[in-house]
Amino acid sequence: MATVKKEMKITPGEAAGIIAAQSLGEPGTQMTLRTFHYAGVAEQVPTGLPRMIEIVDAKKEPKKVLTDIHVLAKWQKDEKKVREIAKSLEELILDDVSMILENFQKKHIMIRLDKKGIEDEGADMAEVKKLIKTFLGSDYNMKSQREKILIKGKRATLRQLRKLTNKLRALHIKGIKNIQKAVIVKDEKGNYFIRAGGSNLADVIERPEVEPSKCYTNNIKQIYELLGVEGVRNAIVLELMTVMETQGLDVDVRHIRLLADAMTADGEITSIGRHGLSGKKPSVLARAAFEETVKHIINAAIRGEEDQLSGVTENILIGQPVPLGSGVVRLRMKGPKD
């Protein structure tokens, strides 16, 4: 008997989903709207309820994206080396080392390069000019004189000039795209690692100075694209556990795992809500009971859908015992012909 109890994870017919929903929903109402400040990286990183909503709604990108980059073990104690690596990873765009001015009357764009700023960032002036020329292509004429670059469009409209200016401001010069404000952080073991705003995990892990297995971003969509559904399932569990622990709430990880399993069961990230799990339930009555009642019933009638009454909501609606607990048991009477 003892062996059976040890192997038994949960009683058959137990309402695991409802218990998980209560276990996550109840502490969710006690969460504060506190935010944390990582100096120089990202202001007001959402924690608590706002971050929890971001995760369960499967937002395309968090409000504040962060990436933790760990260097190889031989450099973890060397602050100077880690700082150098952080500087080399940080993205440098043209707007950081230049002044870009538009002249709509003469239909040209003037770029004044900051030579000292470019050299301080470890870039080369000639290389920057070459990048600009390659970016412009054959549609624009470029004249270069020391720190000044004049760009004229052959047949450019004012709208096209403005679009070009915006693209030039964001032109990537060096570093890794979308990695900004990289700062050095010391962990509890005395090792240094890099915390940066933005995320580009695919390019970060390709750098030879970086330990790929320890790099992490709070952008779960990017984890899904890079590591697949198993990776993103673990990321959802980790992010939700971090939210709970930060708020000092003790929630069993199995409830969170059940939620993560439900969100990733189809092989992709599905949100919780009318456009996600709740809106994709097989039962017409269950969908109608959640939101947009009339729309769901009309669409079901048009398609001629049948409700198998296999879930909880639809059985409560029509007054039948739900298929949970004692409702799981089905009794048959043995007749005289059996």
pLDDT band at 16 (very low <50, low <70, confident <90, very high): confident
Name the residue with tokens 């330990």: 211
CA distance 228 to 221: 10
Instruction: Name the amino acid, one letter, at 153.
Output: G
Residue 136 or residue 203, greater confidence: 203
Which pLDDT value is given to residue 117?
A: 80
Q: Where are the domains of the chain?
A: 12-64+218-264, 66-90+178-217, 92-174, 278-327
Helices 48-56 + 220-246 axis angle, to 10? 150
Which pLDDT value is given to residue 229?
A: 93
pLDDT band at 264 (very low <50, low <70, confident <90, very high): very high
Which pLDDT value is given to residue 303?
A: 92
Mean pLDDT of the chain: 83
| CB contact at 8 A, 256 and 281 | no
323-327, long-range: CB < 8 A, 24+ apart: 324/13, 324/14, 324/15, 325/13, 325/14, 325/15, 326/13, 327/13
pLDDT band at 1 (very low <50, low <70, confident <90, very high): very low
The yes or no reply on domain 92-174 and CATH 3.30.1360.40 is no
Which pLDDT value is given to residue 223?
A: 92
Which pLDDT value is given to residue 275?
A: 80
The pLDDT > 90 percentage for the chain reads 10
Helix boundaries (H) for 186-283: 201-204, 220-246, 253-264
Domain 278-327 -> CATH class: mainly alpha
| Beta-carbon contacts of residue 116 (< 8 Å; ≥ 6 apart) | none
Which pLDDT value is given to residue 32?
A: 67
CA distance 125 to 167: 19
Per-residue pLDDT of 302-329, as tens digits, reads 999 888 888 888 898 889 888 888 888 8
Assigned architecture for domain 12-64+218-264: Orthogonal Bundle (1.10)
pLDDT band at 41 (very low <50, low <70, confident <90, very high): low
Which pLDDT value is given to residue 7?
A: 61
pLDDT band at 144 (very low <50, low <70, confident <90, very high): confident
Asked if pLDDT for residue 42 goes beyond 70, the answer is: no
Which pLDDT value is given to residue 236?
A: 94
Which pLDDT value is given to residue 142?
A: 79
- Which helix (H) or strand (E) segment is 48 a member of? helix 48-56
Average confidence (pLDDT) over 102-121: 81
Q: How many CA atoms lie within 13 A of 5 on its CB side?
A: 2
